[in-house]
Amino acid sequence: MTSNILLFLIAMMIPIFIPLIFIPFWTRKTESFGVSIPEEAYHRPDIKKMRQKYAWTNAILAIIITAVFWFTAAGRDENFIAVLFSILIFAFIVVSFAVYLIFHKQMKELKNNNQNWTRKPQLVTIDTGFRNQKLAHSNYWFVIPFLISILSIVITLTNYQLIPDRYPMQYNFSGEVTTWANKSYRTVLLMPIMQVYLTLLFLFLNTIISKAKQQVSAANPEESIRQNIVFRRRWSLFTIIMGTGLITIFMLHQLSLMYKINHQLLMIAPLVFTIGIVVVSIILSITTGQGGSRIAVKTGGENGTVIDRDDDRYWKLGMFYFNKNDPAIFLEKRFGIGWTNNWAHPLSWIIVLAILLLAFGLPKLLG
């Protein structure tokens, strides 16, 4: 039984390992380890070697972490394993960030030694019609998870008498109850209110996807716009499906308070869902790439006459965007897949704080 739990936890590490190993291959070809480079430099043998070295370093690190986990956790009790797991994951992220910083520094030096990279005219291009196109799927899709959440509330309130006075809130790995909740209108509404919160959160994410800064390659505007639109639409669809699925699973759990629902279904549904989400997001990352850079489109753009503007100085450590003059709040990540904030914009901090406060505050308030 314990080795099953260990295997399960190791499987949980994979979605953390894989992106950290493969990120350099998924970024735009105009970025390398958080440093902007001309697209043709991406294929240089030395930069190619750096990517491979980075991937191998992280892969070996992942193997070490897994081995340490396997040998120290064997035979220990669940609390110990849980703490060990969190510490090791944290350690992996910290060490992997240190590895990134080393490569980032190397890349910066390489750029300094290649002054001709920045000698071409640096331009910023946008398409005035960009925002008239459909960049993300409609936010109206969130009517479905919203209705599911409302339905959960209605069913809970009308069947209140069916809920036992004490009901399980949390299980451990062996399926035993670790936390019980005393029935009250406040506690039984926790789950449906979290459903509403998550629906709004996913709606917000979908809005970011359509509103995030337009990034058009000055050398190949047409191609990069087409790639970018596909990129946004795919992740938008992913967000909608993932959000709706998650909220449906929450509903299933809420219903289990009132009705007899097959125990195995309750255990397996979230597991299958999680695995599905992880697999799909990795496939999406590989096939789409950051900003759509891995999507093949049919236009032979000219290369090498101009390059995109060098905004390295606004990217602290190549990772955190900090530009006071930029009114944009959301923009594409440099080293990774997805979007990040302009940390110089006060709204960024307010939004992040509000999301975190609600995520931790709601369960505290209602639980």
Partner 1 sequence: MYITLDLESEEPIYTQLKYQIIAGIAKKELSPGEALPSVRSLAADLSINLHTVNKAYQQLKQEGFILIHRQKGVVVNPDGVPKANEAYWSELESKLHPLIAEAVCRDVQEKDFLQLCSRIFANFNMKGDK
Q: What type of residue is 252?
A: L
> Does residue number 124 form part of the binding site for partner 1 (CB under 8 A)?
yes
> Does residue number 161 form part of the binding site for partner 1 (CB under 8 A)?
no
CB of 221 to partner 1, least distance (A): 5
Q: What are phi and psi for residue 316, nearest 5 degrees?
A: -70, 130
- Nearest CB to partner 1, comparing residues 24 and 292: 292
Residue 59 and residue 15: Cα distance in Å, rounded? 13
Stretch that binds partner 1, among 122-130, 150-158, 159-167, 253-261 (CB under 8 A): 122-130
331 contacts 214 by C-beta, under 8 angstroms: no
Interface with partner 1 (CB under 8 A), residue total: 25
Residue 170 and residue 176: Cα distance in Å, rounded? 8
CA angle 237, 239, 244 (to 5 degrees): 100
CB of 246 to partner 1, least distance (A): 30
Among positions 119, 131, 134, 186, the unique one binding partner 1 when judged by CB under 8 A = 131
CA angle 212, 332, 26 (to 5 degrees): 140
> Does residue number 210 form part of the binding site for partner 1 (CB under 8 A)?
no
CB of 325 to partner 1, least distance (A): 5
CB of 233 to partner 1, least distance (A): 18
Among positions 205, 218, 240, 258, the unique one binding partner 1 when judged by CB under 8 A = 218
CB of 238 to partner 1, least distance (A): 24
Q: What type of residue is 118?
A: T
Q: In this structure, what DSSP letter does residue 117 have?
A: G
CB of 322 to partner 1, least distance (A): 12
CB of 25 to partner 1, least distance (A): 27
156 to 256, 270, 335: CA distances (angstroms):
11, 21, 44
Q: Which of 280, 273, 275, 238 is nearest to 252 (CA)?
A: 273
- Nearest CB to partner 1, comparing residues 122 and 274: 122
> Does residue number 123 form part of the binding site for partner 1 (CB under 8 A)?
yes
Question: Bridge partners of 342?
Answer: 321
Among positions 44, 213, 226, 253, the unique one binding partner 1 when judged by CB under 8 A = 213
Tokens of 227: 């790639």
CB of 304 to partner 1, least distance (A): 16
- Nearest CB to partner 1, comparing residues 131 and 186: 131
Indicate the SS3 state at residue 257: coil
> Does residue number 344 form part of the binding site for partner 1 (CB under 8 A)?
no
Residue 308 and residue 216: Cα distance in Å, rounded? 8
> Does residue number 122 form part of the binding site for partner 1 (CB under 8 A)?
yes
Q: What type of residue is 304?
A: G
> Does residue number 132 form part of the binding site for partner 1 (CB under 8 A)?
yes
Burial class from Cβ neighbours inside 10 Å (0-12, 13-18, 19+) for residue 124 reads: exposed
> Does residue number 325 form part of the binding site for partner 1 (CB under 8 A)?
yes
Among positions 2, 125, 139, 159, the unique one binding partner 1 when judged by CB under 8 A = 125
CB of 117 to partner 1, least distance (A): 15
190-211 and 143-158 are packed helices; what angle lies between their axes, rounded to 10 degrees?
170
The interface with partner 1 within residues 81-100 (CB under 8 A) comprises none
> Does residue number 346 form part of the binding site for partner 1 (CB under 8 A)?
no
33: left (phi over 0), alpha (psi -120 to 50) or beta: left
Tokens of 97: 């960030």
- Nearest CB to partner 1, comparing residues 78 and 127: 127
What mask, x for binding partner 1 by CB under 8 A, covers residues 275 to 294? --------------------
The interface with partner 1 within residues 298-317 (CB under 8 A) comprises 309, 311
Residue 114 and residue 118: Cα distance in Å, rounded? 8
Q: Interface residues with partner 1 (CB under 8 A)?
A: 121-132, 213-214, 216, 218, 221, 309, 311, 323, 325-329
